[in-house]
Amino acid sequence: MHALANPLRFQRFASAFTPWLLLAGLGLAGAGLGIGLFLAPPDYLQGESVRIMYVHVPAAWMSLGGYLGMAIAALVAFVWRHPLASLSVRAIAPVGATYAAICLITGSLWGKPTWGTYWRWDGRLTSMLVLFLLYLGVMALIHLHEDRARGLKMAGLLAIVGTINLPIIKFSVEWWNTLHQPASIRLSGSSIHPDMLTPLLLSAGGFLMLFAAIVLIRMRALIAEQRIEMRALRRAARAG
């Protein structure tokens, strides 16, 4: 972690790994979605509509994992003043928000033929919407505050406090009466047939690698932006 604290060293690391992450992510996601959408069997209850699972579930997992990663980066920025931690928060927020939006949209499309409605204010759906709004709140604090450093601190604080919503999302189907089905994959095993589980895990692996690749691309862009701003400030100071 400390070895990557140097922006130039991180740039070299990101430049080397980003193409491989992109290729592997596209390959895994393509394979998972291809098998899931065209080759996997339909569900005996939900029929063909279950194929939305191969997009919806990985997007949900990544939006949760992305928020946790963003909160950890914010905590590192507060405690250890890691040079790239605040940049990680800025890089992760819009990517996680996009995944959360995909989760909400595909969930609504899945809900109509399954439950007879696009939306219901139950525990799982509402807490996922709150997660999306938390992402938007972090982004707003970063970009709308006049003092960028103060805005980043406030955004980091919101990211950390917002982690209280993660266990609510996880256990909402157990705590409250909800339309959403309970978890099908647990540490003790899975209730999903292997013909459906395999493409789901392939798709999830691809979504994860694409998430990481996009975050690295955004961090490289933010580092370059900072360098340009510092050069502009130095030129302005010399000119003054």
* Number of other residues whose CB lies within 10 A of the CB of residue 187: 4
DSSP H/E element including 1: none
Which DSSP state fits 182?
P
Give residue-wise pLDDT tens across range 58-88: 999 999 999 999 999 999 999 988 879 999 9
Give residue-wise pLDDT tens across range 201-238: 999 999 999 999 999 999 999 999 888 888 877 787 77
Q: Domain map of the chain by residue range? A: 18-179+194-239
Alpha carbon dihedral 27, 33, 39, 41, in 10-degree steps, equals 140
Cβ contacts of residue 59 below 8 Å, gap of 6+?
A: 99, 100, 102, 103, 106, 207
List the one residue out of 209, 172, 163, 156 whose CA is nearest residue 30. Answer: 209
pLDDT at 178: 74
pLDDT at 4: 61
Mean per-residue pLDDT, 47-63 = 95
Can you tell me the distance from the alpha carbon of 198 to that of 204, in angstroms, rounded to the nearest whole number? 10
Q: Is it the case that residue 1 has pLDDT exceeding 70?
A: no
List the one residue out of 40, 152, 154, 143 whose CA is nearest residue 87. Answer: 152
Mean residue pLDDT of the chain comes to: 90
Can you tell me the distance from the alpha carbon of 15 to that of 163, in angstroms, rounded to the nearest whole number? 31
pLDDT at 5: 65
pTM of the model: 0.92
Domain 18-179+194-239 has CATH 1.10.10: no
DSSP collapsed to 3 states, 18-56: HHHHHHHHHHHHHHHHHHHHHHCCCECCCEHHHHHHHHH
List the one residue out of 37, 30, 106, 94 whose CA is nearest residue 67. Answer: 94
Which of 62-71, 103-112, 134-143, 145-154 has the weakest average pLDDT? 145-154
